[in-house]
Every structure is written in structure tokens, then in C-alpha cells.
Structure 1
């Protein structure tokens, strides 16, 4: 699947993320931790987003040598989803789904919108 992100879309998403960070700091911080874990394990951000949003994540499932790693990862996702305020995060992810979970994660990690402009394969 190919997604294309315009500078304006990314800028709006960055502003929404900043507001989310200000309004819901605890959920935002948990989300940052999940993004960092995803990056450290070299999993696909699309997989992370699908798990959080209760979408079918099978085609993005990472090939791992040790199922324990995947179980630990899934446990961390479930901890995030157990938070009562996770619906606010889901609303944010849903509102900017068209730019892709990878780009949203990049913005959360501090990437500049200009560096994320253009087509990407997910």
C-alpha cells in the first residue's frame, strides 16, 4: 500500500500531536514508549498502529526468531490500550491515518514534517 503525505497534512498532524501531548501527557508518554520499543525492535510502525487501533495486523506482523519478544511487545501494546484515556489516542490516530502510522510516529519522535513529505510504501 502506498500513502502520500503533503506538507500541510503533516503540519496539521504535528500540531494535533503537540496539543495531545499538552492535554494528555500520561497517555502521550506511554505512546512514546511504545513507539520507541517498536523502533528498537525494528518492527513496522504500521503493525504497531494496527494493534492499537484493533485493525488486522497480520500482514505487518514481524518475523521474529523468538516468540517471547513478540509476546512482550504485545503485552506493552495491551498495557497502553488498557488506559482509560486510550480512546483519545485512537481518535488522534484515526484522524491522521491517511498519512500513515509511520509518519505519525516520526512526528512524535521529533522528525520535521518536511522530511516526511512524499509517497511511502507501508
Structure 2
């Protein structure tokens, strides 16, 4: 899937992520942990975002993952979704979905918006 992220949208998303970090640090840190887990497992941020937002993740499902590891990953996603502050994160993900879950994740990890602007292939 090809997405083209607008610099202004990325900048706004970065500000929203920083606001979440300041106002709801507990959910922000759990989200960062899920991002790191996703990165470590090479599952793809779009897959993570689809699971968090209750979208169909089949287009982004990792190929050939160990069933046990995948089930543990799903358990961690469900723990995050059950957090009382999850609606705040879900609102952010929904509001900035157009920049892609991958770019939102990279912004949360500290990448500057300028480096993410422009067309990107998401998988």
C-alpha cells in the first residue's frame, strides 16, 4: 500500500503524540512498548494499528510467525485495549490514520516529521 504523508499532518500528529505523552504518560508508555514489540518481531506497524483499531488485519498479517509468539503479541494488544485510558490513544490513531500507523509509530519513537514526509510503501 502506498501512502503519501503531508508534512503538516505529520507535524500535527507529532504534537498530538507529545500531548498524549504529557497528559496520559501511562498509556503512552504502554503504546511505546507495543511499538517496540512490533518492531522487534518484524510484524509491521500497519498490522499493529489494524489490531488496535479493530480493523481487518489480514492484509498486513505477518507471514509465517510462530503461533505461540503471535498469540502472546495478541494478548499484549488486548491488554493495551483494555486499559481505561485506551480511548485517548484510539482517538489519536483515528484522527491521524491518514499519515499511516507506521508513521505514527515512527513519530512516537522519535523520528522527525521532515524525514517521514512524502510517499512511502506500507506493508
- Quickly name the TM-score band, shorter chain normalised: over 0.9
- For residue 65 of structure 1, report the CA deviation from its aligned partner: 4.1
Secondary structure in 2 matching 1:81: helix
CA 1:76–1:109 in 2, change beyond 3 Å: closer, same or farther? same
Alignment check: 8 A CA contact 1:13 1:104 kept = yes
* Aligned residue-pair number: 122
Measured in 1, the distance between the counterparts of 2:65 and 2:105 equals 25
* Structure 2 CA distance for aligned equivalents of residues 11 and 78 of structure 1: 29
Deviation string for 1:57-79 (max 9, x for gaps)?
A: 01111013410110010010000
Q: What is the alpha-carbon root mean square deviation over aligned residues? A: 0.8
1:6/1:117 contact within 8 Å kept = yes
Normalised TM-score (structure 2): 0.96
Matches of 2:37 and 2:15, distance apart in 1? 24
For each residue in 1:30-81, what CA deviation from the matched residue of structure 2 results, as whole angstroms up to 9, or x when unmatched? Answer: 0000000000001110000000000000111101341011001001000000
Which runs of structure 1 show a deviation greater than 3 angstroms over 4 or more consecutive aligned residues? Answer: none
Structural mapping, 1:1-122, within 5 Å: 1-122=1-122
Distance, in Å, in 1 between the alignment partners of 2:66 and 2:112 is 34
Question: What TM-score do you get using the length of structure 1 for normalisation?
Answer: 0.97
The change in CA–CA distance for 1:92 and 1:67 in structure 2 (over 3 A counts) is same
Gaps of 5+ in 1: none
Compared CA separation, residues 65 and 19, structure 1 to 2 (3 A): closer
- The 1-side partners of 2:50 and 2:110 are apart by 22
